[in-house]
């Protein structure tokens, strides 16, 4: 089947496209793009911005490639943005082992609803994804999922931080990065070796930066509020010490380092400095770190308990600045669904995490509204940059990732998000497709939402 998306405002940072036009999809791939009167065939020079908006000429010869109208599905995207499908490089899908929290099926349904066409799942399942057979299981299961699932392998066996996994065989099975997320790799020698191997395999090491000796038993940001609430605090230094250590190790090894969920002003500063020095370091933050301060836990609301914890206004400002100037490359969700009963425990005992897939785009579009990011930069942070970091911009040998992804270049996977930046949506956690209803954003009104998510040419309505 062929699909044509008509009259949308097409944004594709990978090709410098920013204009009204049509996209033709055929057999799950981008077949052709026309921007007003200009045919786009992978050449930036062909893109022209025009003030007038004349009718578009038909696709190829014979109108829509000579196919009959009945074989062509048309999507009217007038007034909408058409951007490369969102890629979330940090989710917890919980399968295998914790299916009561989430499954690959429910997690990918939540992803599609949130505008994501690809999600990368962290290895802290049960069993942990620390060997090729678990990777193979996740990939097999993901074939029932609605979007592409790319597994991230553990750095160390059983995430114990002691012995490296077999990165080569796990890469061959389909792992696209390595991380012990949920836990840091406390042993610097192990982290050094991981970065050395990752360099050889060309895959990133994603670091959950936390000095456990400083954060031990902490449940929220350390400061006046934690004292007032009588809760044990986690200082910003717990994150920053490890960010700094890992930057030094990336410099030592030349390995590819990606810092997960940046939450503090000091981390932004360290990463900015590393980038100025030309190091191979990238970073992500999550919507909750630029949307909420520690005040969200004032009522001991466990839905606002995350690791790293929510910080202060100053940190939020620094994170926005970091997103704006390119220090922070990626917005990821750290989607961490939990069962209701677990989050009902008292604050000290409740698990950390937010079910983030279905609110991430709306919360991030707020940054566009506030003038922190342009819509182009948003598409970079939520699609192009994750694709670049994970090596998805080129066609992939793996049948799972046929690719390219993160781009609307001709021949890429037809992964597209059509969004309406004006649509107002009430967040209703009880209606999430994710099994995890744990969100501090329940009841919020978000301006901007995905309307249609197209994953490898398959069309899904989001609203
Ligand atoms: Zn983490
Ligand atoms: Zn995580």
Distance CA 39, CA 61 (A): 13
Here the tokens at position 162 are 């002691």
Residues 85-389: name the CATH superfamily.
Metal-dependent hydrolases (3.20.20.140)
Ligand nearest to the CA of 183: 1
Q: What is the DSSP letter of 338?
A: -
Q: What is the number of the ligand closest to the CA of 209? A: 1
pTM: 0.94
Q: What does the alpha-carbon distance between residue 322 and residue 160 come to, in Å, rounded to a whole number? A: 32
SS3 of residue 387 by DSSP? helix
Q: What are phi and psi of 362, to 5 degrees?
A: -60, -45
Listed in order, the ranges of the chain carrying CATH 3.20.20.140 are 85-389
Output the CA 89–ligand 1 centroid distance in Å.
Answer: 12
Ligand index nearest the alpha carbon of residue 354: 2
Q: How far is the CA of 289 from the centre of ligand 2 (A)?
A: 13
CA–centroid distance, 182 to ligand 1, in Å, is 4
Residues with CB under 5 A from ligand 1 (ion): 181, 208
Instruction: List the shell of residues around ion ligand 2, using CB closer than 5 Å.
Output: 181, 334
- Kindly list the catalytic residues: 334
Provide the 3-class DSSP secondary structure of residue 296. helix
| Averaged pLDDT, groups of 10, the chain, 463 residues long | 95 97 96 79 40 57 53 94 98 98 98 98 98 97 94 98 97 96 98 96 97 96 98 98 98 98 98 97 98 98 98 98 98 98 97 98 98 98 98 79 92 97 97 98 97 95 90
Radius of gyration of the chain (CA): 22
Centroid of ligand 2 to alpha carbon of 376 (angstroms): 26
pLDDT of residue 46: 37
Rounded CA separation 256/281 (Å): 6
End-to-end CA distance of the chain: 23
**Rounded distance from Cα 54 to ligand 1 centre (Å):** 49
User: Rounded to whole angstroms, how far apart are CA atoms 76 and 176?
Assistant: 35
Is the CB of residue 153 less than 8 Å from the CB of residue 165?
yes
Please tell me the distance between residue 107's alpha carbon and the centre of ligand 2 in angstroms: 14
Ligand nearest to the CA of 185: 1
Report the separation in Å between the CA atom of 182 and the middle of ligand 2, taken as the mean of its atom positions: 6
| Spatial distance between the Cα atoms of 36 and 157, rounded to a whole number of angstroms | 53
């Amino acid at each position: 089947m062929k699909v044509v998306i008509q009259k949308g405002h097409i944004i594709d940072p990978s090709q410098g496209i920013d204009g009204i036009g049509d996209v033709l999809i055929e057999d799950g791939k981008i077949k052709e793009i026309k921007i007003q009167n200009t045919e786009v065939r992978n050449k930036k020079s062909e893109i022209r911005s025009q003030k007038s908006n004349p009718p578009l000429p038909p696709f190829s010869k014979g109108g829509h490639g000579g196919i009959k109208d009945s074989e062509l599905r048309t999507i009217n995207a007038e007034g909408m943005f058409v951007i490369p499908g969102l890629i979330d490089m940090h989710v917890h899908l919980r399968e295998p082992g914790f299916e009561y929290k989430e499954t690959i099926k429910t997690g990918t349904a939540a992803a599609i609803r949130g505008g994501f066409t690809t999600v990368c799942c962290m290895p802290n399942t049960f069993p942990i994804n620390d060997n090729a057979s678990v990777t193979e299981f996740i990939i097999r299961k993901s074939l029932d999922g609605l979007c592409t699932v790319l597994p991230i392998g553990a750095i160390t066996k059983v995430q114990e931080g002691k012995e490296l996994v077999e990165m080569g065989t796990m890469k061959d099975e389909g792992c696209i990065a390595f991380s012990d997320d949920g836990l840091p790799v406390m042993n610097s020698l192990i982290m050094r070796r991981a970065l050395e191997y990752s360099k050889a395999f060309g895959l990133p090491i994603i670091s959950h930066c936390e000095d456990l000796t400083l954060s031990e038993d902490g449940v929220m940001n350390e400061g006046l509020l934690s004292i007032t609430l009588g809760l044990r605090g986690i200082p910003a230094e717990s994150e920053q010490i490890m960010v700094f250590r890992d930057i030094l190790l990336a410099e030592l090894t030349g390995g590819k380092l990606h810092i997960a969920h940046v939450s503090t002003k000091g981390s932004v500063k360290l990463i900015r400095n590393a980038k100025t020095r030309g190091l191979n370091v990238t970073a992500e933050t999550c919507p909750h770190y630029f949307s909420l301060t520690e005040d969200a836990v004032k009522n001991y609301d466990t839905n606002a308990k995350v690791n790293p914890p929510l910080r202060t206004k100053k940190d939020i400002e620094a994170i926005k600045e970091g997103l704006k100037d390119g220090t922070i490359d990626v917005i990821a969700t750290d989607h961490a669904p939990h069962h209701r009963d677990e989050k009902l425990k008292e604050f000290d005992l409740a698990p950390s995490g937010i079910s983030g897939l279905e609110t991430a785009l709306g919360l991030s579009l707020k940054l566009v509204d506030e003038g922190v990011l342009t819509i182009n930069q948003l598409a970079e942070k939520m699609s192009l940059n994750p694709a670049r970091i994970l090596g998805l911009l080129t066609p992939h040998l793996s049948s799972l990732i046929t690719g390219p992804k993160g781009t609307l270049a001709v021949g890429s996977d037809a992964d597209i998000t059509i969004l309406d930046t004006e649509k107002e949506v009430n967040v209703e956690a009880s209606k999430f497709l994710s099994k995890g209803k744990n969100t501090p954003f329940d009841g919020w009104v978000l301006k901007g939402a995905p309307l249609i998510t197209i994953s490898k040419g398959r069309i899904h309505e989001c609203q």
